Amino acid sequence: MDSKKILLVEDDPFLSSLLKNRLIKESVEVTHAHDGQEALDILKTYKPDLILLDLILPKKSGFEVMEGIKQDPQLQNAPIIIISNLGQPEDIQKGQQLGAVEYFIKAKTSIDDLVGNIMGFLTAQPQ
């Protein structure tokens, strides 16, 4: 089985390094973008199996990144899991409308649960 590829879009250095290390232990290839613009630049050439996306980001918000992804025929089917501190119902709804397959609120989700959910999603995907 080829290793799965994830684009992690997260500006928090602690959380991104923690998540990246945990996913690498699960044999997942992780590419990291620190802001929304960098994420869109990376996605021009990198086709991940999953995008982990924070919403509050420098340069372009997660919502703007999702809008950019939706406009790209190569990317529009890329699954997105949102990890954010924005937990208002309207934020969650907007994320789902823009195509998020899951929405995790950082404060309410342990890193173990998050990694478990990510791995469950990746292993359920067809090759």
Residue 20 has pLDDT above 70, yes or no: yes
Q: What is the pLDDT of residue 75?
A: 85
Residue ranges of alpha helices (H) inside 11-110 are 13-25, 36-43, 62-70, 89-97
Quote the mean pLDDT of the chain: 93
Q: What is the pLDDT of residue 2?
A: 72
Residue 124 has pLDDT above 90, yes or no: no
Mind listing the pLDDT tens digit for each residue in 40-91?
999 999 999 999 999 999 999 999 999 999 998 888 888 999 999 999 999 9
Angle CA(74)–CA(4)–CA(100) in degrees, nearest 5?
A: 55
- Residues of the chain with pLDDT > 90: what percent? 86
Residue 94 has pLDDT above 60, yes or no: yes
Q: Checking DSSP bridges between strand 50-53 and strand 80-84, what pairing results, if any?
A: parallel
* Third-level CATH fold of 5-124: Rossmann fold (3.40.50)
104, 114 contact by CB (below 8 A): yes
Domains in the chain: boundaries? 5-124
CA–CA gap between residue 11 and residue 28 (Å, rounded): 20
19, 114 contact by CB (below 8 A): yes
Residue 125 has pLDDT above 90, yes or no: no
Q: What is the pLDDT of residue 126?
A: 66
- Quick one: CA dihedral 35, 71, 95, 48, positive or negative? negative
